[in-house]
Structure 1
Amino acid sequence: MRYIIFTILFFIIATVVKIDLQEGTLPLASFYAQEDCEEQIDYEWHNVIVRVQPRDTIYSLFAATPSDAPSPERLAEFYKANPHLQQQSLVPGELIKLPIRKQKENKCL
């Protein structure tokens, strides 16, 4: 009889702990004030002017100037900044613009 009571008590405690961990002790409580700012992160593009060296490629220049943008987006911005390079290769000594994406400052904080 003692084992049955302990087993039932164990399952009740386990159920209460599970519910508490999944939903929280006060699931409807609001601990943080609502902010008017959106949670969406905004980015802006900056161009860095570089001089092309012999044996440089677009991807080697991207690797030398890191950015937090994925390659396809950065490549599209590269061709927007340098439209003359869509049909020709890089020429050593030429000045080109490399796009770098940076996160805008969050004005909510």
Structure 2
Amino acid sequence: MKIFVATILLLISFYIVKVDLIEGTIPLAYSIQPVECDRKLDYITVEIVAGDSLQSLFSLYPSVESISFTERLADFYNLNPHFINQSFKIGEKVLLPTYTTSKECK
């Protein structure tokens, strides 16, 4: 009977230690919380010259922050909705999206 009670107490002790190591205070002390970063949309004004395309403008004026082409394209059309149905004209000014983040994220 003593061996049975000792075994039960030992198993309960092991369970408590396991739960504390996996879900308890030790993992919380060493876990790294991801920082939520908000991108702030800004823009620059660019004048179109002969031979410019949207891809060439994006490569000439890259964004400091890493962003996908489709997201930048969507923001371009939000800033310049008249370019959805027309092409660039020489001498026209367009707004190119650029992005900045807060200082905590860098």
1:82 and 2:80 matched = yes
TM-superposed CA distance for 1:31, in Å, is: 5.8
Alignment correspondent of 1:100: 98
Query: Residue 104 of structure 1: CA displacement?
Result: 2.1
TM-score (norm 2): 0.64
What secondary structure does 2:77 align onto?
A: helix
Q: For residues 42-78 of structure 1, give each alpha carbon's deviation from its aligned partner in whole angstroms, at most 9, with x where no partner exists.
A: 1111110000010100110000111122100000000
Which has a greater percent of helix? 2
Question: Is the counterpart of residue 56 in structure 1 residue 56 in structure 2?
Answer: no
Q: What CA distance in whole angstroms lies between the structure 2 residues aligned with 1:71 and 1:59?
A: 9
Aligned to 1:39: 35
Aligned Cα root-mean-square deviation (Å)? 2.7
Gaps of 5+ in 2: 1-20
In structure 1, runs of 5+ residues without a counterpart are 1-22
Runs of 4 or more above 6 Å deviation: none
Cα distance in 2 between the residues matched to 1:105 and 1:49:
25
- Percent of pairs identical after alignment? 29
Deviation for aligned residue 1:83? 0.5
Residue identity opposite 2:46 in structure 1: V
1:106 is displaced (CA, Å) by: 2.1
SS in 2 for 1:59: helix
Q: Supply the distance in 2 between the matched residues of 1:104 and 1:98 (Cα, whole angstroms).
A: 20
